[in-house]
């Protein structure tokens, strides 16, 4: 039997990170993003130490750190401007929090994927399954067979698969 075939519907932070993790575990992964190209969507994100540990295991933490600015201290202020808290960062060891521009994080994750795994311009239309596999159909007519499908509501996966999912979950 070959490696597990996984279709990931959505090329955002979650989809790209899942693709890196699954690929590193030996899965045959394809990421399908509805946008024609990955671009400037969103603003900033804050990567806390646990996130950075995952990115470190996936081999992209150093590149992420090049685009981020480590947080060295946290200051909290009340509505009246009074200081309500102060904490020195780094209590979790050498990894600290990293705020960064979201499109930079997406670009780093996408660049870490091997060529041919990311497919843009693929909006999910339907998801079906039988006893052997799942079949994802995109609005351009492309179909992809997989052992597992991963996605989020933003990519139309749940809208397309709600009847299938109800049948699988509820019997």
Q: Could you give the CA distance from residue 119 to residue 136 in angstroms, rounded to a whole number?
A: 13
Q: Are 18 and 8 in contact (CB under 8 A)?
A: yes
Domain boundaries, the chain: 5-170
> For 5-170, which CATH class?
alpha beta
User: Over the stretch 118-156, which tens digit does the pLDDT of each residue have?
Assistant: 999 998 888 888 888 999 999 999 999 999 988 865 545
Report field, pTM of the whole predicted structure over 0.85? no
Q: At what angle do helices 13-24 and 49-57 cross, to 10 degrees?
A: 40
Tens-place pLDDT, residues 36-89: 888 777 788 888 888 989 999 999 999 999 999 888 787 889 999 999 988 777
Rounded-to-integer distance, Cα 98 and Cα 73, Å: 12
């Amino acid at each position: 039997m070959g490696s597990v075939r996984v279709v990931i519907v959505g090329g955002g932070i979650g989809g790209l990170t899942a693709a890196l993790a699954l690929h590193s575990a030996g899965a045959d992964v394809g990421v399908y993003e509805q946008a024609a190209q990955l671009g400037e969507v969103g603003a900033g994100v804050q990567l806390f130490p646990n996130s950075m540990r995952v990115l470190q295991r996936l081999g992209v933490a150093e590149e992420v750190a090049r685009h981020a600015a480590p947080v060295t201290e946290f200051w909290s202020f009340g509505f009246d401007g009074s200081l309500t808290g102060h904490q020195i960062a780094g209590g979790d060891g050498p990894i600290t929090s990293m705020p960064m521009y979201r499109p930079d994080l997406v670009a780093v994750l996408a660049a870490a994927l091997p060529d041919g795994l990311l497919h843009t311009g693929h909006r999910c239309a339907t998801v079906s399954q039988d006893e052997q596999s799942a079949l994802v159909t995109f609005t351009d007519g492309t179909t992809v067979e997989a052992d597992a499908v991963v996605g989020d509501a933003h990519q139309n996966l749940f809208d397309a698969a709600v009847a299938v999912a109800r049948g699988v979950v509820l019997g």
